[in-house]
Structure 1
C-alpha cells in the first residue's frame, strides 16, 4: 500500500476539541481523548471526556463534593492511534497540553517510542504546547496547515516549537472554589478571597498556571481581559474566546473585543481539563502573536 507524503496530526482533547468539531474534520486532525474521573460511591470512575457532553460534565462537577480529576495517561490509546495512522503515513506529529499539569505528553512520548520501535520506518514527534485548551489547538491547526502545504515533519516540528512562546491564554475565574478544592490555593486564603469577591485572572508562564492579577467584579475582570488584549493588539494575528459553561459572558466579551480586532473572533467551550481548574463560569482569551 502506498502511503501519503503528508504528516498526520494528532492533538489531545485537552485542546477543547472533539472528533465531531467542524474544525477537526476540516483539518483532518486526529483527537486523542483524555480521561476525567469522578468520585462515585467511594470509587474514582473514569470517563473519556468525549463520552460526556459539556452540560453533563458541568452538572456532574457541580454535584460532586470532591473535585474531579483529569488523567493524561494515554499510552495505550495513543499507541493504537499511532499504529493506525502509521498505515497512512510514515510521519506523525502529536501535540499535547502542558506537561507541567498533565502526563499526556509523557504518556504520548512513551507510546511514540513503542510504535517507532515496532515500525522503524515511522517517525513520530511529540510536542509539549506548554498551554491548554484553544492555545494547544492553535498549534494543531498550524501543523495541519503546514502538512497540507507539503512541509516535512522536521520543519513542522521546528515551526511549532518557534510558535509555542507566541501563544497566550488568559482567563478570569468566577470564584476560587475549584482552586481551593484542587489544593492550588490554601483553604483559608481561598475562603478570604471568596469573601472579598476576588475574581483572579490566570495565565500560563512556561507551561505553569500562574495568577496574573486580581479583580473584585466580573465586569472588572472582563475589562482586565480587554485591557490586556489592547495592550498587545498590534502583535496579535489570531484571537479566540473560550468559556466554561458561560456562553453569554463569552459573547459579551466577543462584542467588546470586536471594536479592537478586525478579524473573526470564534467562541469555544473549553473542555474538562480547563473546566476542572477554572470551574463553571470562566471566560478567557487565547491569542497567537507575531
Structure 2
C-alpha cells in the first residue's frame, strides 16, 4: 500500500480505526499544571479524565507544530509513500497551518484535507478514508470523495455541565447560567467549522432521546447510508443511556455504528463528561 493516512488528535476515532497499520496520529500538546503532555502519548484518555475533574483551572492545548509535520512527512516520503493528511478544523487550531507550511518545504506527494470539523465529526472523514484506501482508490479519488460527503458530515454534542465551556469562553455566560439554574441541557452542533446551539432539553433522558431523534430527522431519506459514531468521556452512565437509545432507534437501520471516547484535547475544552453523536453518508 503506497498511501500513508495521517490525522491529528483533534479527530476522535474508534480503536479499530486507530489500529490501522497505514494510519498515524499526530498529537497536539496538552498543558496542565505547568506540564506538557503529548495527547495520547504521554497521557491516556482515562488518566486525563481522572486528573482534570479534580482541577480548578481548565487545561490548555497547543497545536501540532511545523517540526512534527516535517518529521512525519519526510519519514513517509522516504519510504515511498503518498501522504493524505486529514486535519481537524483550520478555524479552531493552527495545526492545519503547521502542516501547510511543512508541505511547502517537502519534496513529495502530500495532500492536505481540511475537515472543518473536530472530534467525532473530523473522525468521520478518517473512517471513510480508511474504507476507500482498502477499496483501492487512488489518493486523488479519496480526496474528491471526501469533499463530496462534506455536506453530510455533522456532530451533535452535549456536555453534562457548563464548567469547562464557561471557563474556556466557548459559550456565552448567559447560556451557561440558564443551563446551570434550570437543568437545561443544550445540544450543540458543529458544521462548516462553526459551533452553534442546536436544541435545548431538560434532563438526561430527554437529551439522549433528542440526540438520536435529530440524527433521524436530519437524514430521513438516507438513514440506511449513514456511518454513525457515538462518543463519551468519563460519564459512563450517560453514555449507556445514549447507547440504549441508539440501539433501539438506529440499530439495523444505518450502514454502520461505531463507538469511541472523547480525546484529551477536545475534552479539555468541553469537559470529559460529554456525550456526542456524529454521522456521514
Q: Is the Cα–Cα contact under 8 Å of residues 73 and 107 in structure 1 kept in the other structure?
A: yes
So what's the TM-score if we normalise by structure 2? 0.89
2:1 corresponds to 1:15: no
Paired position in structure 2 for 1:219: 205
Q: CA deviation at 1:167?
A: 1.0
Change (3 A) 1:159 1:106: same
Secondary structure at the counterpart of residue 151 of structure 2: helix
How many residues are aligned here?
274
Write out aligned runs for 1:109-124 (5 A). Answer: 109-115=100-106, 119=107, 122-124=108-110
Secondary structure at the counterpart of residue 266 of structure 1: strand
Q: CA deviation at 1:9?
A: 0.7
Secondary structure at the counterpart of residue 15 of structure 1: coil
2 CA distance for matches of 1:26 and 1:205?
27
So what's the TM-score if we normalise by structure 1? 0.87
Q: CA deviation at 1:213?
A: 1.5
Paired position in structure 2 for 1:163: 149
Q: CA deviation at 1:130?
A: 1.1
**Which residue of 227, 230, 237 corresponds with 1:238?**
227
Q: Deviations over 1:123-169 (max 9, x none)?
A: 11111111112222221232233233332222221111112221111
Change (3 A) 1:23 1:277: same
Runs of 4+ with deviation above 6 angstroms: none
Q: Is the Cα–Cα contact under 8 Å of residues 84 and 110 in structure 2 kept in the other structure?
A: yes
Q: Is the Cα–Cα contact under 8 Å of residues 233 and 260 in structure 1 kept in the other structure?
A: no
**Which residue of 110, 116, 130 corresponds with 1:144?**
130
2:41 corresponds to 1:45: no
Q: Is the Cα–Cα contact under 8 Å of residues 208 and 241 in structure 2 kept in the other structure?
A: no
Write out aligned runs for 1:1-290 (5 A). Answer: 6-17=2-13, 21-26=15-20, 28-38=22-32, 40=33, 44-50=34-40, 51-115=42-106, 119=107, 122-187=108-173, 189-231=175-217, 232-236=219-223, 237-261=226-250, 262=252, 264-289=256-281
Secondary structure at the counterpart of residue 78 of structure 2: coil
Instruction: Tell me how large the CA RMSD over aligned residues is.
Output: 2.0
Q: Deviations over 1:257-285 (max 9, x none)?
A: 22332155222111023212321321111
Q: Deviations over 1:182-227 (max 9, x none)?
A: 0123445523431122211011131111111212211111121121
1 CA distance for matches of 2:177 and 2:31?
25
2 CA distance for matches of 1:174 and 1:252?
13
1 CA distance for matches of 2:248 and 2:206?
18
Q: Is the Cα–Cα contact under 8 Å of residues 3 and 22 in structure 2 kept in the other structure?
A: no
1 CA distance for matches of 2:175 and 2:190?
21
Q: Is the Cα–Cα contact under 8 Å of residues 70 and 272 in structure 1 kept in the other structure?
A: no
2 CA distance for matches of 1:151 and 1:97?
23
